[in-house]
Amino acid sequence: MNNKLQKYFPLLVLIGIVLNATGLTNPILEPDGTLYATIAKHMALTNDWINLFGDNHDWLDKPHFPFWVTAASYKAFGINSFAYKFPGFVFWLIGLRFTYLLALRMYNKETAQAAVLVYLVALHTVIANFDVRAEPYLTTLTIASIYYFYREYKERKWQFLLAAAFFAGCAVMTKGIFALLTIGGGFVIYWIVTKQWKEFVNLRWYILVALTGIFILPELYCLYAQFDAHPEKMVFGQTGVSGVKFFFWDSQFGRFFNTGPIKGSGDPSFFLHTMLWAFLPWSLFFYMAIFKLIRERKQNTGKERWIIYGSAGLTFILFSLSSFQLPHYIIIFFPQCAIIAADYLLSVYASVNARLKKIVHIILLVLLFVGAVLVVMLAVFTQTSLTYLCIILAGIVLIIAIFFWSKASLLNSFFMAYAFGFLLYPFLNFFFYPMLFKYQSGMQAAEWIKQNGVPGKLAMYKEFSHAFEFYSAGEPTWIYDTADMHKHIITEGSMIVYMNKTDSDSLAQSGFVVKSLKHFDYFRISMLTGSFLNPSTRNSAVTKMEVAEISRKE
């Protein structure tokens, strides 16, 4: 046992949790985060826990579980950014615990501690706690199911079988049945490698599948009630759409084969290079661990680590072959990646290979330097508030790294990795993104309306901002064209409308009375460009939005 790691483990865990919690202070990022937030908002406002309603229509894409949890959070804390993000953060904390427990049972205490420390500061972990979607829920539910699956495999106790099925069912009700591949795939690989053919006819695993099916019955009921029982509903541009079929086939296999209503264009190498940045500062060590496993596969034939490698590997391959790919998908197997990277780092520092230790140390030092340079460049280039403070902090951290952490050791490696996180993550969440959110104009417009007590029925005209929808009091009306506008103005008399400035001018020419109340600059800050980040060219990159009072001419 590494006594120094043991000594500093609680402190580093606390730092890692605080770094991830910095994302709770920011608003919800468009487009996906605010879409999911509005779906749960509608559920909470209407007390309709069966039907998912988003984009102003019956919504059939993701399953219910995250929306149930989020809507319950709204009931407890009110409808706000914190209430949306907090349950995901709590789930993530629970996932940390299950990562530790699984690594402890499968490896040892030192590996378990190191895995938690790796998982805590991986870049996309922090991003996921800032830009909350379904992944914090899914990741925790899958690693929890794997943990209880493993305990059932080793101890043969029914309570573990039941727990594994429960968490698997919740995982399926979060993202679909492909979650079962991540949960059970590693065990299948391990049984094949170790020739445990009897496990494939073990009745307990078929009972596990049956129990999982029972636990997903609430999801199936909701889908049937909303869609299958109402074939007249228009979904994906057609009627007669089965929600149950979509759940089992189109949302999973349809995306994989690109035959479903939601299509994409996959690249087999996409997640190879995504992993390089998403798992920083550990990504190179993860790939080095994979290379080591392949090189020493004969020595590792009987080891249970194949459960971890198999789970991560099969999921990685599935995502890489899929026709629908997004960077945040890989978060689902970050606990496995953390265990793999931690085991590799421990093996490096337990070896007599001083050169390899030095290489690991240099990689982390270089990453720390790059992180410091990135913070300074972004602070200066974007003219972020407290730019000089960011520069001074970056300099201090680099000096500490050079003079105090120059010796290649396991603990110093973690210190440098956490220094990387200490520099980058608070900068992003406290300085960089708060500046960017000034250009999430839907949110800014909704907050301005509330702060100034602007009276009137709220609406969006042509520009349908989920941020405006979420941050507004109540649920704004969606208005699609001038005919639709006429209909609503006749009913309401006047409306407070969020829209593009060009549409405002068009409405004035169409016979409406347009009283401009406030202008806002909009940019899709989830897809940054150099022209937007550069203050000298930013004005040309933004779209001019407006809040106006629309009424009829007498």
Can you give the pLDDT at residue 138?
96
The range of the structural domain enclosing residue 484 comes to: 440-552
530 pairs with which residues across the strands? none
301 and 199 assigned to the same domain: yes
Burial degree of 542 (CB within 10 A; 0-12, 13-18, 19+): middle
Q: How many domains does the chain have?
A: 3
- Of 436, 463, 487, which residue sits at a domain end? 436
CA gap 184, 208 in Å, rounded = 11
Spell out the SS3 assignment of 328-383.
HHHHHHHHHHHHHHHHHHHHHHHCCCHHHHHHHHHHHHHHHHHHHHHHHHHHHHHC
Q: Which SS3 state, helix, strand or coil, does residue 477 take?
A: strand
pLDDT-derived band at 324 (thresholds 50, 70, 90) equals: confident
Write the pLDDT tens digit of every residue in 300-309.
666 888 999 9
326 and 344 assigned to the same domain: yes
Write the pLDDT tens digit of every residue in 484-522.
999 999 888 899 999 999 998 889 888 899 999 999 999
280 and 374 assigned to the same domain: no
**Helical spans, DSSP H, in 383-427:** 387-404, 410-426
Angle value at C-alpha 261, between 47 and 172, nearest 5 degrees: 55
Can you give the pLDDT at residue 383?
77
398 and 342 assigned to the same domain: no
User: Does residue 23 form part of some domain?
Assistant: no
User: Does residue 205 form part of some domain?
Assistant: yes
Can you give the pLDDT at residue 300?
63
Closest listed residue to residue 173, CA positions, set 217, 211, 206, 140: 217
Can you give the pLDDT at residue 479?
95
In this structure, of 216-225, 283-292, 316-325, the range with the lowest mean pLDDT score is 316-325
What pTM did the predictor assign?
0.94
Are 250 and 260 within 8 A, CB to CB? Answer: yes
395 and 319 assigned to the same domain: no
420 and 446 assigned to the same domain: no
What do you get for the CA distance between the two ends of the chain, in Å? 82
Averaged pLDDT score across all residues of the chain:
91
Can you give the pLDDT at residue 303?
83
Write the pLDDT tens digit of every residue in 434-459.
999 999 999 999 999 999 999 999 99
253 and 308 assigned to the same domain: yes
